[in-house]
Amino acid sequence: MDAISLRRAITLTLVAVATATGCTASHPNAPAQPLLPCTPAQWSLAKTIVQSDGGPLIAVPVQAVYRSGARCQLDVTVTARLTGDGGAAIPKATATGTLRAILGPAAAERRTPSTDLGATSFIWTNWCGKDHRVQVTLTSTTHTLTEAAGEQPGCLYPNLPTSFTWRPPAHPLGG
């Protein structure tokens, strides 16, 4: 057997073994495999730290934290609700948004970005209520997190209700 025939035989054998074992080579120009959706065990909601811009609004940022498993695509609807003393619902203080991110074991993917004030956040303005111990509850279909708001926005328009809305990121993956 000459050198060329021997090389072909070894190559065919390696390809056959790789195919039989499910091993595939990844070519740099090969299309990326789609990521599977994150399961509830792969992520959790991060502790919320209410942020103020020093003006009339408060941002309630939403962050997801990677916990374990393979790299995955997070696409989750989160509802935030403000409650006053004793858990009483605050009128007009419930909002819903969608958090999208890629989570995984890589350092840059272990937590959704904490970006500029208000990005991937609920925005709260015009608080004219009497409760000073307001709670923020973030809820997805599988996770719940409740934290004290700590700060409240100022009362700019006493005749109008508080405003609580979702502000999505400029980039669809949270950047």
pLDDT digits 0-9 by tens, 55-107: 788 888 888 999 999 999 999 999 999 998 888 899 889 999 988 889 999 98
pTM attached to this predicted model? 0.72
Instruction: Please report whether residue 52 resides in a domain.
Output: yes
- Domain interval for residue 144: 40-167
- 28, part of any domain: no
10 Å CB burial of residue 42 (0-12, 13-18, 19+) is: buried
Q: Specify the pairing of strand 121-125 against strand 89-103.
A: unpaired
User: What's the CATH number where 103 sits?
Assistant: 2.60.40
Structural domain contains residue 145: yes
Q: Is residue 33 part of a domain?
A: no
Of the candidates 80, 87, 92, 90, the one whose C-alpha atom is nearest the C-alpha of residue 130 is 90
Instruction: Give the chain's domain count.
Output: 1
pLDDT tens digit sequence for 140-168: 999 999 998 888 888 889 999 999 998 76
Position 2 in a domain:
no
**Does residue 21 sit within a domain?**
no
